[in-house]
């Protein structure tokens, strides 16, 4: 018996009270997720009495009772989850397809015997990769390296770029004795003064290599030694993008010019840029977008200067922008040299071009085949239920709703923006944002913040138009009553 | 039906051919592992025809058919595994206790719904920690932070030491505006010039922070930018340790003096040492031991100079030295400020003193509760079957066997050493080591190398005296025939 029956777990129409609401008259599609609940249901404020507040912990959860888009806490509060564990739940909680996978005795061994994948992979691993990660490989890429988390993915991608760059530089000859002896004591030329270019507002992880390319919040970086690597400005665009094309193009041109200047400057400093790393949408940094043209130009600059181009899709990858990879929106055949991922992909890792193959990328586990097993099934569900189209549809409804709300509450909301359901909106100030996020949570809507005063929307791929309207109604109520 | 029946899976006495063997006359204990095979069984050379050799891959495995101490490959070769996935399998393959855990429907949710542990932990997580990691917490430590792998554990442990050190330095006051603004662009004082002291021959992982403290093989470090951090000499001792106490004590005193000199020198350079990181036995670097007195003195030096003391138990932890933590052999009440782990613990992470608590240590997953679930059960098995005592017993038999073999083959073997089953022996040169490792594999014994010419023994905790004698007999045959 895989899925236990729950009270309130049934097909449902309009039972949820859409009172005082802008959206009450809208035709809400009846299609929703058949294994989940019929709406939020709050019993206490959150965190409730059974949640202890420790450090950064928000509240304790009852994952057994959580279903689909609904996260249930230890006090029995049931919340519509528009944040999904920092954007890492692809198809909702307790999806029947994933539970079924667990009940297949052929899969047990994959959970119980974790291999050292780099030396002793399971017989089935090549097929598992073909069914999972390689079936969604970005354009131009046929190779993938799994890793245990997002930070390790980026750390190892950086290493692959350094190794590739130095190999080029020494004409693919064997390293010198001096290279070999100096690297053992952290000195050049063995440990060369190479750099990775990143962007202000970027987030690429918190281990020491990643952290040198992360520039979203001081609290991430303070007190930790770093590298003198170049940091380019990320375009600060005006939204909606299509209303400000000329100003935005100017801003992007300014940033691209700075990118080239920095590449030259760092080469002259003796710290050449081996690779450029960028998010298709800066997430932690405040959901900052740039145009396809900006990314195409950046990719060309990287190629011109002999730098590898690394697209970090840890938060944007996996379908939430309406395409499986956000960089597919750029419309290029050859968009990147390296694409890293984690979160919704359930395993970390990176795709890379053949020439960035580095057999020296290695650690004990190098990923976890049990996560690839789940990913195969997630991809089956995405295909079977056409979830990318669903995301595009829900995303349009969400962004249109946010446009309406910011028109109605111009003193509170501004700069609605998004791609698919990967949306955000700015609040007038940080204090108001905190207040709205807490009110939303107590009304059964779980949201996250990003940047200095943005709210970010990161629902699962099964977040349907129905859920969009449910959210918009509650959110509208909160805004209407906000003082 | 959890455990399928296999041919050859039965209680067994002396069917395996102990011919031409030094150990044939030994009384081999009849106790072995009741769910495993009766010995190695080779059908082809390894890698066999069904294994493809790609990059660093040794061969492909059939984990479904592997049992206890025996790893089965895709060609049906069954090998006694004395390497255990780079020392990461605690109680053998397909242990019935772990398979049983998978069949409990109450556990399904933990596998299917991976939380962002730092903000939304499962209700049961505090209890799971109490049952698993906290039940084996090192002396003086009540706090633990889980992480996804060994590298992330050390990276975050280093960050915790940096944050702790700077907090002390600024008298626990809030950081200045200059700290906050400079850290965003990787500059001091916000990103301070602090250092971590490590030892020549050390291995602490391969991400950029860890790699700056790793000095075991050039291939790990070549082409990757690093930090100018101090590297102290690790004692080069003579074995058996008890025969060379005076020379070894002198060598250790020399290294300790150098440690203090480097701490002073790096402080003068403006890159003070925030923490010292060391393995209780240098593993990758060649199984280099030091005395309890060396470690006690080092811990005192760290305290004297205000540096945190970080013991990296990623490879030594989990029982293989005959105690749960290798540093317990030092006999101290207050051995460390931070103890990191991974591998046999199935999850990464680190224990730390209260004062090294840093709420800024954070990432999306911060570990994986499903691994803690397995760990709880592994710990139950260790206790129920008194596996630490078994390891001590098997370890004595193994080390004594290695002493006998090196006495018999002094031209090939030397420097046998070990603690528990965490043993090693040197081979006369690297080519001979490679030849012996391949011959052993084709005779059904899977071993690993470390350092320049050592063979390392890293069996599971269920490696009994029976398996030791089985190994010694085959190994003796190989050595006897070695040309």
Q: Is residue B13 part of a domain?
A: no
Q: Is residue A245 part of a domain?
A: yes
Chain B CB contacts of A180 below 8 Å: 218, 222
**pLDDT over threshold 70, residue B54:** no
**What is the mean predicted confidence (pLDDT) over B80-100?**
97
Say whether B421 is catalytic.
no
Q: Find the residue in B nearest to A85 (Cα).
A: B116
- Torsional sign, CA B397, B398, B401, B403: negative
Are A141 and A91 members of one domain?
no
> Residue A5: its pLDDT value, please?
33
Structure tokens at A90: 């692809």
Q: Is residue B7 part of a domain?
A: no
> Residue A4: its pLDDT value, please?
33
Interface test with B, best of A60, A223, A343 (most B CBs within 10 A): A223
Q: Find the residue in B nearest to A90 (Cα).
A: B113
pTM for the full model? Answer: 0.94
Domain closes at, from A334, A368, A384? A384
The CATH number assigned to the domain holding A427 equals 3.90.1150.10
CB-nearest partner of A193 from B60, B159, B225 = B225
Q: Is residue B55 part of a domain?
A: no
**What is the mean predicted confidence (pLDDT) over A357-372?**
94
Are A294 and A394 members of one domain?
no
Q: What is the mean pLDDT of chain B?
A: 93
ipTM over 0.90: yes
Q: Is residue B344 part of a domain?
A: yes
Domain enclosing residue B212, as ranges: 114-384
**What is the mean predicted confidence (pLDDT) over B208-226?**
98
Run of H or E including A193: none
Are B368 and B347 members of one domain?
yes
Q: What is the mean pLDDT of chain A?
A: 93
| Residue B410 Cα, gap to closest chain A Cα (Å) | 31
**pLDDT over threshold 70, residue A16:** no
Q: Find the residue in A nearest to B121 (Cα).
A: A60
CB-nearest partner of A102 from B108, B163, B206 = B108
Interface test with B, best of A76, A224, A262, A370 (most B CBs within 10 A): A224
Are B278 and B392 members of one domain?
no
Are B354 and B400 members of one domain?
no
**pLDDT over threshold 70, residue A49:** yes
Q: Is residue A425 part of a domain?
A: yes
**pLDDT over threshold 80, residue B28:** no
CB-nearest partner of B226 from A110, A111, A191 = A191
Structure tokens at B194: 């602090």
| Structure confidence at residue B31 as a pLDDT band (50, 70, 90) | low
Q: Find the residue in B nearest to A114 (Cα).
A: B89
Chain B CB contacts of A378 below 8 Å: none
CB-nearest partner of B221 from A184, A220, A363 = A184
| Residue B407 Cα, gap to closest chain A Cα (Å) | 33
Q: For A11-45, b where at least 16 C-beta lie within 10 A, e where not — what string?
A: eeeeebebeebbbeebebeeebbebbbbbbbbeee
Is B209 in contact with A208 (Cβ distance < 8 A)?
A: yes
> Residue B359: its pLDDT value, please?
86
CB-nearest partner of A56 from B59, B194, B362 = B362
pLDDT in tens, B142-159: 899 999 999 999 999 999
Structure tokens at B417: 């050493």
Are B80 and B176 members of one domain?
no
SS3 A334: coil
* Residue A201 near residue A216 (C-beta atoms within 8 A): yes
Is B158 in contact with A374 (Cβ distance < 8 A)?
A: no
Is B58 in contact with A119 (Cβ distance < 8 A)?
A: yes
Say whether B81 is catalytic.
no
**What is the mean predicted confidence (pLDDT) over A249-254?**
98
Which residue in this structure is represented by tokens 């070769």?
A: B77
Which residue among the candidates B203, B422, B471, B475 is catalytic per the annotation? B203
**What is the mean predicted confidence (pLDDT) over A319-332?**
98
The vertex-A118 CA angle with A115 and A119, nearest 5°, equals 75
> Residue B10: its pLDDT value, please?
36
**pLDDT over threshold 50, residue B205:** yes
**pLDDT over threshold 70, residue A18:** no
Run of H or E including A274: strand A273-278
**pLDDT over threshold 90, residue A483:** no
Are A89 and A223 members of one domain?
no
Are A143 and A155 members of one domain?
yes
CB-nearest partner of A360 from B74, B219, B365 = B219
| Residue A178 Cα, gap to closest chain B Cα (Å) | 11
Phi, psi at residue A350, to the nearest 5°? -150, 145
The CATH number assigned to the domain holding A336 equals 3.40.640.10
Are A343 and A446 members of one domain?
no
Q: Find the residue in A nearest to B343 (Cα).
A: A364
Are A425 and A301 members of one domain?
no
A208 vs A191: CA distance, rounded Å: 16
Q: Is residue A203 part of a domain?
A: yes
Chain A CB contacts of B61 below 8 Å: 115, 120-123
**What is the mean predicted confidence (pLDDT) over B446-453?**
96
**What is the mean predicted confidence (pLDDT) over B135-143?**
94
**What is the mean predicted confidence (pLDDT) over A281-289?**
98
Largest interatomic CA distance in chain A: 76
**What is the mean predicted confidence (pLDDT) over B341-352?**
98
Q: Which of A31, A42, A105 is nearest to A68 (CA)?
A: A31
* Residue B437 near residue B367 (C-beta atoms within 8 A): no
Lowest mean pLDDT among A96-100, B6-10, B311-315: B6-10
Q: Is residue A220 part of a domain?
A: yes
**pLDDT over threshold 80, residue A32:** no
A210 vs A157: CA distance, rounded Å: 10
B225 vs A110: CA distance, rounded Å: 36
Is A113 in contact with B63 (Cβ distance < 8 A)?
A: yes
**pLDDT over threshold 50, residue B12:** no
**What is the mean predicted confidence (pLDDT) over A156-164?**
98
Proportion of chain A above pLDDT 90, given as a percent? 88
**pLDDT over threshold 70, residue A324:** yes
| Structure confidence at residue B1 as a pLDDT band (50, 70, 90) | very low
Which residue in this structure is represented by tokens 């760092």?
A: A266
A308 vs A299: CA distance, rounded Å: 9
**pLDDT over threshold 70, residue B270:** yes
Proportion of chain B above pLDDT 70, given as a percent? 93
| Structure confidence at residue A56 as a pLDDT band (50, 70, 90) | confident
Which residue in this structure is represented by tokens 């790990």?
A: B220
B308 vs B327: CA distance, rounded Å: 16
Domain count, chain A: 2
Domain closes at, from B333, B358, B384? B384
Domain closes at, from A338, A353, A384? A384
Are B271 and B288 members of one domain?
yes
Chain B CB contacts of A151 below 8 Å: 152, 155, 207, 363
Bridge-partner residues for A80, per DSSP? A70, A445
pLDDT in tens, B348-378: 999 999 999 988 999 999 999 999 999 999 9
Chain A CB contacts of B122 below 8 Å: 60-63
Is B224 in contact with A163 (Cβ distance < 8 A)?
A: yes
Are A390 and A377 members of one domain?
no
Run of H or E including B419: strand B413-419
Is A63 in contact with B122 (Cβ distance < 8 A)?
A: yes
| Residue B202 Cα, gap to closest chain A Cα (Å) | 11
B147 vs B357: CA distance, rounded Å: 15
Three-class DSSP labels, B112-170: HCCCCCCCCCECCHHHHHHHCHHHHCCCCCCEEEEECCHHHHHHHHHHHHHHHHHHHHC
Which residue among the candidates B364, B429, B430, B434 is catalytic per the annotation? B364
**pLDDT over threshold 80, residue B56:** no
Is B218 in contact with A180 (Cβ distance < 8 A)?
A: yes
């Amino acid at each position: 018996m895989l899925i236990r029956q729950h009270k309130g777990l049934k097909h449902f129409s309009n039972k949820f009270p859409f009172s005082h609401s802008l959206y009450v008259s809208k035709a809400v599609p009846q299609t929703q997720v058949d294994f989940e609940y019929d709406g939020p249901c709050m019993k206490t404020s959150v965190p409730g009495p059974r949640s202890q507040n420790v450090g950064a912990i928000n509240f304790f959860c009852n994952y057994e009772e959580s279903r689909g888009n609904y996260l249930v806490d230890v006090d029995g509060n049931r919340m519509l989850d528009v944040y999904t564990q920092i954007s890492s739940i692809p198809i909702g909680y307790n999806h029947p397809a994933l539970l079924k996978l667990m009940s297949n005795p052929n899969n047990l061994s994959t959970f119980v015997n974790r291999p050292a994948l780099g030396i002793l992979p399971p017989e089935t691993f090549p097929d598992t990769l073909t069914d999972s990660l390689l079936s969604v490989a970005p354009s131009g890429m046929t190779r993938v390296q799994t890793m245990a988390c997002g930070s390790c993915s980026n750390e190892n991608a950086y290493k692959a770029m350094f190794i590739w760059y130095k190999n080029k530089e020494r004409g693919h000859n064997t390293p010198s004795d001096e290279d070999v002896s100096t690297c053992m004591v952290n000195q050049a030329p063995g440990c060369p003064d190479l750099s990775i270019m990143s962007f202000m507002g970027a987030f690429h992880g918190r281990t020491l290599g990643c952290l040198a390319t992360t520039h979203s919040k001081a609290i991430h970086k303070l007190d930790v030694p770093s590298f003198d690597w170049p940091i380019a400005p990320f375009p600060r665009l005006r939204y909606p993008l299509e209303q400000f094309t000329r100003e935005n193009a100017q801003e992007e041109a300014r940033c691209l010019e700075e990118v080239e200047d920095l590449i030259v400057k760092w080469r002259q400093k003796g710290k050449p840029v081996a690779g450029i790393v960028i998010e298709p949408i800066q997430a932690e940094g405040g959901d900052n977008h740039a145009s396809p043209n900006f990314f195409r130009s950046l990719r060309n600059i990287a190629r011109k200067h002999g730098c590898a181009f690394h697209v970090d899709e840890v938060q944007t990858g996996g379908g939430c922008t309406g395409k499986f990879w956000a960089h597919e929106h750029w419309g290029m055949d050859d968009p990147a040299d390296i694409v890293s991922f984690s979160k919704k992909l359930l395993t970390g890792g990176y795709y890379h071009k053949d020439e960035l193959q580095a057999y020296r990328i290695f650690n004990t586990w190098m990923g976890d085949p049990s996560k690839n097993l789940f990913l195969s099934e997630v991809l089956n569900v995405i295909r079977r239920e056409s979830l990318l189209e669903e995301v595009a549809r829900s995303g349009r409804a969400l962004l249109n709703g946010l446009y309406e709300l910011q028109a109605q509450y111009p003193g509170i909301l501004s700069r609605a923006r998004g791609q698919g359901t990967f949306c955000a909106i700015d609040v007038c100030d940080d204090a108001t944002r905190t207040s709205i996020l807490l009110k939303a949570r107590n009304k059964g809507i779980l949201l996250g913040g990003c940047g200095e005063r943005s709210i970010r929307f990161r629902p699962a791929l099964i977040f349907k138009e129905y859920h969009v309207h449910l959210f918009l109604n509650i959110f509208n109520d909160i805004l209407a009553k906000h003082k």
